[in-house]
Amino acid sequence: MILKVALSIGLLLYAISTFLYLYRILKGPTTSDKVIALDSTGMNLVAIVALLSILYDTDAYLDVILLIALLAFIGTVSFAKFVEKGKVIDRERDN
Amino acid sequence: MKTNNVLLRNVTKVVAFIIFLFSLHLFFAGHYNPGGGFVAGLTSAGAITLTLLAYDIKTVQGMLHMNTIMLTAFGLLIAFCTGMIGIFSGKPFLTHKFGDVVLPILGKTALHTATLFDLGIYLVVVGVTLTIIQTIGESD
């Protein structure tokens, strides 16, 4: 019972946090703000999936956690490279 | 301005191995747990994509030494031959076999030919994803 209450409070806080990140994604003055907000949204999703897997009492979602974290990392790296260089994948080494 | 992304390259050297091991775990867990050939192939392609982001297409092709289109064809061939096992043993197409096999190091192991079919799916997914990414990356 107390576990369910605590998990519900945690999920509510993470939902509020994700909505605040959504505001930053929509209103961010620069592209970098939006990219960082997207990356943090991914980390919030990791936490939400972890709390849900405790709530549903299953370990079937634990692979999803690692997968979301890896995809958020790769996505953020590619966005960062696009912001810095203008293209995501180089054809030849230039340094 | 010349940038030196030494941080990204050193992180990639560690993280790409972790992603690849995770994809192997997903591949072999697919029979009893969430996972399987499709998501394992996508995760392996993600590891190679991260290497592509940190380096460039020519370096990664020099690391891998493989033609991604031939990889796709090889995966399709494996999946088709796995289906032919059923026909040659007098059963319908794609009938799978399973049983305990004594392997040299591992001992008595329960094996299933559905794993070979999954290996075909894995190779097709890796090949198609890398072909798409490299083709888009090469065109200017």
B76 pLDDT above the threshold of 80: yes
Give tens-digit pLDDT for A5-25: 999 999 999 999 999 999 999
In this prediction the ipTM stands at 0.86
Give tens-digit pLDDT for B102-115: 888 888 888 888 89
Of all residues in chain B, the one with the smallest CA distance to A79 is B53
For residue A28, what pLDDT is reported?
81
Average pLDDT over residues B7-25: 93
Band the pLDDT of B97: cuts 50, 70, 90.
confident
Q: Return all residues near B124 (Cβ < 8 A) that are at least 6 apart.
A: B41, B72, B75, B76, B79
Band the pLDDT of B88: cuts 50, 70, 90.
confident
- Cβ-Cβ contacts under 8 Å, B39 against chain A: 67
For residue B66, what pLDDT is reported?
86
Q: B102, B109, B126, B108: which is closest to B26 by C-alpha?
A: B126
Within chain A, which residues score under 50 in pLDDT?
Answer: none
Give tens-digit pLDDT for B29-61: 988 888 889 999 999 999 999 999 998 888 888
Predicted TM-score (pTM) of the model is 0.88
For residue A95, what pLDDT is reported?
60
Asked if A93 lies within 8 A of B58 by C-beta distance, the reply is yes
Asked if A77 lies within 8 A of B43 by C-beta distance, the reply is no
- Cβ-Cβ contacts under 8 Å, B35 against chain A: 63
The beta-carbon neighbor of B57 closest among A77, A78, A91 is: A91
Asked if A63 lies within 8 A of B49 by C-beta distance, the reply is no
A61: alpha, beta or left? (left if phi > 0; alpha if psi -120 to 50): alpha
Asked if A70 lies within 8 A of B55 by C-beta distance, the reply is no
Mutation target among B7, B18, B19 for the A interface, most CBs of A within 10 A: B19
